[in-house]
């Protein structure tokens, strides 16, 4: 019936994405490791997307690995990143008519993302975030950011420094002055 036909446009597009994800491309880490990843999933990285599109035909893409030269893209980080994009490539597209940027920022991470990003090895965690930033995978950088901010929330400066291994480059006097200026946050509402 015509009723059905004229209302399912756009699904073709989803089929194409699913089809394209069956094509595997190779990604090469800065340590030299080569890993396979579905094409649609890999294109969640704007960097990879641009490289693939500038190379033109898919045939070339599937034979030669795409080189990700940034030092944060270690073997371990790249494996994590591929895990993330392979899970998320078929997420429904962001609906700009409804989803406010502000709402999305405030939304809590999904259970899967929480487990994914809760990495004990902080060097690996930071590699994943820096590599996602380099590869321009906005969704994954956001997951990392929300994770770090949830850990920072409510902690003192010293606790934050110890947790994230941050060097305090303030003098004691400077730190004191800032504390005084911000004393209002400790007042009761």
**Cα 67 from Cα 32, distance rounded (Å):** 9
The CB density around residue 132, as the number of other CB atoms within 10 Å, is 27
Cβ at position 149, least distance to another protein in Å: 4
Cβ at position 35, least distance to another protein in Å: 16
Q: Is 131 exposed, middle or buried (0-12, 13-18, 19+ CB in 10 A)?
A: buried
In terms of Cα–Cα distance, which of 139, 122, 141 is closest to 131?
Answer: 141
Kindly list the distances between the CA atom of residue 124 and the CA atoms of 9, 12, 75, 120, 132, in Å, as whole numbers in the listed order: 42, 38, 10, 8, 12
60 vs 94 by CB, closer to another protein: 94
**Positions that interact with another protein (CB under 8 A):** 3-4, 7-8, 11, 18, 22, 30-32, 67, 69-71, 92, 95, 97-98, 102, 105, 110-113, 121-123, 126-127, 129-130, 133, 141-142, 144-146, 148-149, 152-158, 160-162, 164-170, 174-175, 178-179, 181-182, 184-185, 187, 189
Cβ at position 68, least distance to another protein in Å: 10
57 vs 132 by CB, closer to another protein: 132
**Cα 161 from Cα 149, distance rounded (Å):** 13
57 vs 156 by CB, closer to another protein: 156
57 vs 182 by CB, closer to another protein: 182
């Amino acid at each position: 019936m015509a009723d059905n036909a004229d209302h399912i446009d756009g699904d073709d597009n989803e089929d194409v994405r699913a089809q394209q994800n069956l094509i595997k491309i190779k990604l090469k880490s800065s340590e030299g490791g080569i890993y396979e990843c579905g094409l649609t999933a890999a294109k969640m990285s704007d960097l990879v997307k641009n490289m693939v599109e500038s190379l033109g035909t898919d045939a070339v893409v599937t034979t030669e690995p795409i080189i990700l030269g940034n030092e944060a893209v270690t073997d371990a980080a790249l494996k994590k990143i591929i895990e993330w994009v392979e899970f998320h490539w078929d997420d429904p597209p962001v609906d700009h008519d409804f989803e406010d940027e502000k709402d999305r920022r405030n939304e809590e991470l999904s259970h899967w993302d929480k487990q994914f990003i809760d990495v004990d090895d902080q060097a690996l965690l930071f590699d994943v975030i820096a590599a996602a930033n380099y590869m321009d995978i906005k969704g994954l950088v956001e997951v990392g950011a929300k994770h770090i901010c949830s850990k920072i929330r409510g902690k003192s400066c010293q606790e934050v420094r110890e947790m994230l291994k941050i060097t305090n480059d303030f003098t004691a006097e400077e730190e004191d002055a800032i504390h005084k200026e911000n004393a209002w946050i400790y007042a009761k509402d």
